[in-house]
Amino acid sequence: MAARPEFIPTGDSAVTSEPARRTRTGGGRRVPRHTLSAEAIVDATLRMLDDTDCEGISMRALAAELGVGTMTLYTYFRSKDELLQAARDQVLDSFHPPDVSGDWADRVRACCQALYRLLVERPAVLRVLAVKPDGDGDFADTATAALELVLSQLRAAGLGRQETARGYVVLLQYTFGSALRHVFAPARRNGENIPSRLQMLDPVAHPTITDLMPELVITHGSGEEQYLFGLDLILDGLRKAAAVQH
């Protein structure tokens, strides 16, 4: 819980030194007296983020959802940004790589796949990371178990220090990027999607695209299957890079 500052707030990013009286400010569910906590606020934030982006969430709207006064939230979090980071951290802190048998590639694959599933099932985390340019650093600060596993396994594979660092970044960016596309790409204007656009192309001008149209349509809707295909390509490349160094 954040320390209470001493000045009075004037807007959505302000803080207060005294709790505000808990009054119902909207159509949300009033929390029982004396049960509001930082955890309850974070849980409500995650529920809202699963359905709307960060721009659509305000401290006032969250307070209405909880049935408390807006100023009450500032006794727990100094700003909306701090609250969003807490919501992100709560999910990522709970992530633990699965314990699997096999070689280094099997363990890295299982870790990345589990992270991909977590992100797809919890869009809230993706929404927070998508609006922060330092998302990679944020991940490293929280899901350290995953970071340690991937780095240690890449080193065990025989990759050099710099190659290990680069390999980790490639895996992380690919996993986050694939999850982002899987969750948010289907929401296009007027139902537009890539397969439907491809089907309108002139087959004379684009014979290869036309020929592979059935496979392209399937691939664009394959989700995790497509993610794993790309992940295996990355792991194969890292395996070859490690072999070259021996």
Residue by residue, DSSP assigns 79-117 as SHHHHHHHHHHHHHHT-------S-HHHHHHHHHHHHHH
Tell me, yes or no, whether 224 and 109 share the same domain: yes
- Residue 197 burial by Cβ neighbours in a 10 Å radius (0-12, 13-18, 19+): exposed
Tell me, yes or no, whether 86 and 100 share the same domain: no
Tell me, yes or no, whether 8 and 66 share the same domain: yes
Tell me, yes or no, whether 102 and 84 share the same domain: no
Tell me, yes or no, whether 233 and 169 share the same domain: yes
Q: CA 137 to CA 151: how far, in whole Å?
A: 15
Confidence band, pLDDT 50/70/90 cuts, at residue 89 = confident
Whole-number average pLDDT of the chain? 80
Confidence band, pLDDT 50/70/90 cuts, at residue 11 = very low
Q: Containing domain of residue 87, as a range?
A: 1-94
Give the CB-side neighbour count of residue 213, counting CA atoms within 13 A.
13
Tell me, yes or no, whether 115 and 208 share the same domain: yes
Tell me, yes or no, whether 119 and 146 share the same domain: yes
* pLDDT tens digits, 32-43: 545 799 999 999
Other beta carbons within 10 angstroms of residue 208's beta carbon come to 8
* pLDDT tens digits, 206-234: 999 999 988 887 887 778 999 999 999 99
pTM equals: 0.75
CATH value at residue 16? 1.10.10.60
CATH value at residue 158? 1.10.357.10
Tell me, yes or no, whether 53 and 100 share the same domain: no
Average pLDDT for residues 78-98, to the nearest whole number? 87
